[in-house]
Amino acid sequence: MAATTETKGWIGARLLRKEDARHLLGASTFTGDVRVPGLKDVAFVRSQFAHGLLNSVVKPDGLETSVFSAADFPDLKSIDGGPELPSFRTAPYHAFAREKVHFVGQIIAACLAPTRGAAEDIADQVYADIEPRPAVVDMVEALEPGAEILHEGFPDNAFIHATVSEGDIAAIAARAEVEMRRSFRMNRQATVSLEGRGVLAYWDHRLDELVVYLSTQGAHMMRIGLSLALGLPEHKLHVIAPDVGGGFGGKNRLMPEEVAVCAIALKTGQPVRWIEDRREHLIASVHCREHHYDLTLYAEKSGRILGLKGEVHIDAGAYSLWPSGPFMEASMAARNLPGPYQMQALHVETHTVATNKAPMGPYRGVARPGACYAIERAVDELAHKLGMEPADVRRINLVTPDQMPYRTIGGLRLDNGDYPRALDMVRDMVDLPAIRRRQAEGETDGRRIGVGFAVYTEQSGHGAAEWMKRKSRIVPGYESCTARVLPDGSMLLLVGIQNHGQGLETSLAQIAAHELTLDPAFISVRYGDTALTPFGFGTFASRSTVFSGGAVAKATRLVAEKARRIGAHLMQTEYEETRLEDGAVHGPSGKVPLAEIARAANVRQEFLPAGMSPLLEATATYEPEESGGFFSYGAHAVVVAVDPETGVTSLLDYAIAEDCGTMINPLIVDGQIIGGVAQGIGTALYEEIPYDPDGQPLATTFGDYMVPCAPELPKLRIAHLITPAHGTEYGVKGMGEGGAIAPPAAISNAVCDALHGLGVIIRETPLTPRRVSDAVAEAEERRAAVSLKEEVPA
């Protein structure tokens, strides 16, 4: 049963974020703020060719000891990622290019100097002798016969071909009244965290370890990767992720710059750092999104969808990043294509393709923005074909609450929720009939109004079974927490996730506060330091509230139990007679504050029950019982105005109805939605890294790469449904990505709705003014051609 509000103790409290003060005061410590005596800066020499044989690297005279290339590190291991599948082809990815370069921006050499400017001066003098080869830049053409092959031993340019098939698609095709084939393309993006990547490394002689400050989403995970690449045992690697200014997936892969900086620090014995600049970020950081869909939708004339057949191409770039490579992109795209809809058959051939571009990594939403875009655009085109209202076609096909849990034809178990209600809510919020009336009347300024819908699901909190199904070489099936009560009764939570903008210092403190009836002001959350916290996988895949929140709940409950035992002893009553309230253990007659109990447990053991070990702390791990994940979902509706001549799109209204189960902190939930939608608007309208036929990236600064800023964001109206998850602590579901999933679909549908009457066809993102204006002009030419034909007498 979906409710709209729920608050219980600290769960559901609208607390301002603990982390805001330092960020607003400019007092944060990012990797770039860390100072170490004698620190030197690295500037990388990067390939200017997309594809070529690297014959030699010539260091400038007299500066040989300040320049490093592959020849200086013969023992450095390549950092290959990908699933543990025999059908997945691996190409070694070395921190410094050896023999060949495969994308513009690939690292050839590193230059060391007291300042970054001076290091760039040296980099300008390094000569790389590269014999260019033809560049492969299109993921579909890359698989055609005769295409240049990137990697030795690959029979074609695919890292992997795989088929996702369920149900009898041939039988569905035979009986379907409607068959509709469409191609859709979502173009390449960067992840554009506010803080770019960064790494600082030095050998600490006292601790006899390499200290690595790293802007990452998972310090423990990166220690594993660095250990593999450097050949250094893990106890000699101390990874610290200080304040991290956003990651969105882009800081969840081991990257060559990180290995290179550590290797240089080890080789020279000097503290070394590299701070990514925005040009490097756009050219050579994790790229994302680039998908091509060729889909055939089978349906009844009533609008009921029967099945989906097609091909998905993923442009994975040149290499497969550690640990999991780009493989999940294809399987998730295919399995999420049915979205929230009932279907009887699905048959999708996927191709994860190597091209001469920067390697692809995860980005908020991972594959689902593409899949949602493809299916939701197809639903609108089906509605147009059948002369139906697109929202009605959705309504007919959505999974209903009485069908839950529902296993989609893509094999995902939708656990609970009311999808049709979410759609109805946004339809009412934007007032669909009013928009249709306004469209019929037309605009006085020549613009055209359109409305678009998209419904999405967001798998979150998936555990071991799901990751094993994906053949992941790391199985992030749990999280951990040490809950430590200090002698004065205040508390530390040591967790293995990485807060990098999600407000987890606040929401995890709220969970512990809820269990211990302590004020969150007395609880500090610590993370991002391999020497400080128990092992954990970090923050990604909308998992931290489910997993880390669960671990915090479990650990603090163990602490609460021990506190009650001590309290019972001090009050000379039975454990069963005690309860926690207002930061104290209460008995039948009287109470003992937690502070007093903590003092006894830590420094006055004579007050403990006989035989009880001292300390008031516990470590727990948590994995939900259901491993397939918990599905947040939502519906977005957007109203746009499109200028058909200039192609400029403005967002007039944006309504969201979403359900992420129980909310720990509704303010943080709304913040996550707003941030995600902003990025989704970027995918829909602005962000793109095009490549020319030679493999040169054409968006290399913010002058060319457009990111939505405050003026591009409409006021987002958010409504919440609350269907608590069964099988997580408090009924929470993860929800960090949903905001970014639906906007490309909803906005594209709205733009196409606006221009539908003109016969305009656009099946590609982003909908830049140029793309839209050109599509309108093409439609005009088509109409002109048709009318000319009709003038010719039969």
The contacts of residue 375 (CB under 8 Å, 6+ apart) are 295, 308, 337, 338, 339, 341, 745
Of 119 and 136, which has the nearer Cβ to other proteins? Answer: 119
- DSSP class of 719: E
Tell whether residue 713 is a contact of other proteins (CB under 8 A): no
Tell whether residue 692 is a contact of other proteins (CB under 8 A): no
Tell whether residue 652 is a contact of other proteins (CB under 8 A): no
**Whole-number minimum distance, CB 20 to other proteins, in Å?**
21
Tell whether residue 469 is a contact of other proteins (CB under 8 A): no
Phi and psi at 503, nearest 5°, equal: 75, 20
**Whole-number minimum distance, CB 279 to other proteins, in Å?**
5
**Whole-number minimum distance, CB 687 to other proteins, in Å?**
10
Tell whether residue 116 is a contact of other proteins (CB under 8 A): yes
Sheet with 649-659: list strands edge to edge.
448-460, 630-642, 649-659, 716-721
Determine which residue in the list 33, 64, 84, 124 makes contact with other proteins, applying CB under 8 A: 124
Of 119 and 260, which has the nearer Cβ to other proteins? Answer: 119
Tell whether residue 180 is a contact of other proteins (CB under 8 A): no
Q: 13 to each of 73, 643, 663, how far by Cα in Å?
A: 53, 43, 9
Of 116 and 763, which has the nearer Cβ to other proteins? Answer: 116
**Whole-number minimum distance, CB 370 to other proteins, in Å?**
22
Phi and psi at 273, nearest 5°, equal: -140, 160
> 3-class DSSP state for residue 371?
helix
Tell whether residue 26 is a contact of other proteins (CB under 8 A): no
Tell whether residue 709 is a contact of other proteins (CB under 8 A): yes
Of 281 and 586, which has the nearer Cβ to other proteins? Answer: 281
**For residues 743 and 708, is the Cβ–Cβ distance under 8 A?**
no
Of residues 616, 643, 728, 635, the one with CA closest to residue 677: 635
**Whole-number minimum distance, CB 447 to other proteins, in Å?**
12
Q: How far is it, in rounded angstroms, from Cα 566 to Cα 616? A: 10
Tell whether residue 708 is a contact of other proteins (CB under 8 A): yes
**Whole-number minimum distance, CB 711 to other proteins, in Å?**
4
**Whole-number minimum distance, CB 413 to other proteins, in Å?**
40
Determine which residue in the list 703, 790, 791, 792 makes contact with other proteins, applying CB under 8 A: 703
**Whole-number minimum distance, CB 792 to other proteins, in Å?**
27
DSSP string, 721-766: EB-PPTTSGGGB---SSHHHHSHHHHHHHHHHHHHGGGT----EE-
Site for other proteins in 611-640 (CB under 8 A): none
Of residues 741, 748, 738, 685, the one with CA closest to residue 713: 685
Tell whether residue 466 is a contact of other proteins (CB under 8 A): no
Of 204 and 645, which has the nearer Cβ to other proteins? Answer: 645
**For residues 695 and 600, is the Cβ–Cβ distance under 8 A?**
no
Of 167 and 769, which has the nearer Cβ to other proteins? Answer: 769
Determine which residue in the list 277, 424, 428, 488 makes contact with other proteins, applying CB under 8 A: 277
Of 710 and 792, which has the nearer Cβ to other proteins? Answer: 710
Interface segment toward other proteins; rule CB under 8 A; list 185-193, 353-361, 481-489, 642-650: 642-650
Dihedral sign (CA 295, 685, 735, 366): positive
Dihedral sign (CA 560, 565, 567, 571): positive
Of 280 and 290, which has the nearer Cβ to other proteins? Answer: 280
Determine which residue in the list 178, 486, 706, 761 makes contact with other proteins, applying CB under 8 A: 706
Q: How far is it, in rounded angstroms, from Cα 547 to Cα 480? A: 8
Interface segment toward other proteins; rule CB under 8 A; list 12-20, 368-376, 487-495, 641-649: 641-649
- DSSP class of 537: -
Tell whether residue 712 is a contact of other proteins (CB under 8 A): yes
Interface segment toward other proteins; rule CB under 8 A; list 118-126, 153-161, 530-538, 689-697: 118-126
Tell whether residue 196 is a contact of other proteins (CB under 8 A): no
Site for other proteins in 746-775 (CB under 8 A): 768-770, 773-774
Determine which residue in the list 2, 58, 78, 120 makes contact with other proteins, applying CB under 8 A: 120
> 3-class DSSP state for residue 352?
strand
Interface segment toward other proteins; rule CB under 8 A; list 89-97, 115-123, 291-299, 540-548: 115-123
Interface segment toward other proteins; rule CB under 8 A; list 506-514, 608-616, 667-675, 707-715: 707-715
Phi and psi at 686, nearest 5°, equal: -125, -45
- Is residue 589 packed enough to be buried (19+ CB in 10 Å), middle (13-18) or exposed (0-12)? exposed
**Whole-number minimum distance, CB 352 to other proteins, in Å?**
31
The structure tokens 């009986």 sit at 175
**For residues 426 and 637, is the Cβ–Cβ distance under 8 A?**
yes
Number of residues that bind other proteins (CB under 8 A): 31
> 3-class DSSP state for residue 87?
coil
Q: How far is it, in rounded angstroms, from Cα 269 to Cα 119? A: 18
Q: How far is it, in rounded angstroms, from Cα 439 to Cα 416? A: 36
Determine which residue in the list 195, 209, 280, 415 makes contact with other proteins, applying CB under 8 A: 280
Of 116 and 351, which has the nearer Cβ to other proteins? Answer: 116
Of 279 and 557, which has the nearer Cβ to other proteins? Answer: 279
**For residues 617 and 483, is the Cβ–Cβ distance under 8 A?**
yes
- On the CB side of 670, how many CA atoms lie within 13 Å of its CA? 15
Q: How far is it, in rounded angstroms, from Cα 450 to Cα 264? A: 55
- The gap from C-alpha 719 to its chain's centroid, in whole angstroms, comes to 23
Of 7 and 115, which has the nearer Cβ to other proteins? Answer: 115
Q: List the structure tokens of 337.
A: 């294509």
The angle subtended at Cα 38 by Cα 37 and Cα 40, nearest 5°, is 125
Per the rule left: phi > 0, alpha: psi between -120 and 50, beta: everything else, 471 is left
Determine which residue in the list 56, 87, 400, 701 makes contact with other proteins, applying CB under 8 A: 701
> 3-class DSSP state for residue 255?
coil
Beta bridge partners of 243: 30
**Whole-number minimum distance, CB 118 to other proteins, in Å?**
8
Determine which residue in the list 463, 629, 647, 697 makes contact with other proteins, applying CB under 8 A: 647
**For residues 488 and 598, is the Cβ–Cβ distance under 8 A?**
yes
Tell whether residue 279 is a contact of other proteins (CB under 8 A): yes
Tell whether residue 714 is a contact of other proteins (CB under 8 A): no
Interface segment toward other proteins; rule CB under 8 A; list 120-128, 138-146, 487-495, 536-544: 120-128
Strand 716-721 vs strand 649-659: parallel, antiparallel, or unpaired? parallel
Of 524 and 773, which has the nearer Cβ to other proteins? Answer: 773
- DSSP class of 610: T
Of 125 and 524, which has the nearer Cβ to other proteins? Answer: 125
- On the CB side of 486, how many CA atoms lie within 13 Å of its CA? 9
**For residues 464 and 477, is the Cβ–Cβ distance under 8 A?**
yes
Interface segment toward other proteins; rule CB under 8 A; list 11-19, 87-95, 109-117, 404-412: 109-117
Interface segment toward other proteins; rule CB under 8 A; list 79-87, 181-189, 458-466, 704-712: 704-712
Tell whether residue 783 is a contact of other proteins (CB under 8 A): no
Residues lying near other proteins in the complex (CB under 8 A): 115-118, 120-121, 124, 277-280, 643, 645-648, 685-686, 701, 703, 706, 708-709, 711-712, 768-770, 773-774, 777
